[in-house]
Amino acid sequence: MTSKHTPTPWHLPSGWETIGVAIGEIPIFSSDEEVVAKCRAKENRRTLSDNIAANAAHIVKCVNLHDELVAGLMDAYPYIADDNLRASIGNLIDKARGEA
């Protein structure tokens, strides 16, 4: 993949639980207030399940922590003595960087 994703941090709008229930979806915003994703209720529903709200919060948390977690793995990588663990961590780093 050659294109870059929208810069982080991403966030949920203020009062997102109320907004989500009213419109049947929870928008996820970039740092410059662009809508980058929406978690939606099933078609023609105006109600949100707990897991739609949890999914939106999980997406934001994962996206915002991704670069920091990959950097931490890369910093630790040279100090991993176990060859199997080192290979596993190396594969995870490659996947996270879109190289695998």
**How is the chain classified by DSSP, letter by letter?**
--SPPPPSPPBPPTTHHHHHHHHTEEEEE-TTS-EEEEEEPSTT-----HHHHHHHHHHHHHHHHHHHHHHHHHHHGGG---HHHHHHHHHHHHHHTT--
pLDDT band, residue 70 (cuts 50/70/90): very high
Identify the pLDDT of residue 54: 82
Q: What is the mean pLDDT of residues 76-95?
A: 94
Beta bridge partners of 40: 25
Mean residue pLDDT of the chain comes to 85
Region 84-88: mean pLDDT is 95
The yes-or-no verdict on residue 66 having pLDDT over 90 is: yes
- Vertex 2, ends 71 and 31: CA angle to 5°? 60
Q: What is the mean pLDDT of residues 33-52?
A: 75
Residue 2: pLDDT band with limits 50, 70, 90: low
Q: What is the pTM of this model?
A: 0.78
Indicate whether 30 pLDDT > 80. Answer: yes
- Break the chain into its structural domains and give their ranges: 16-96
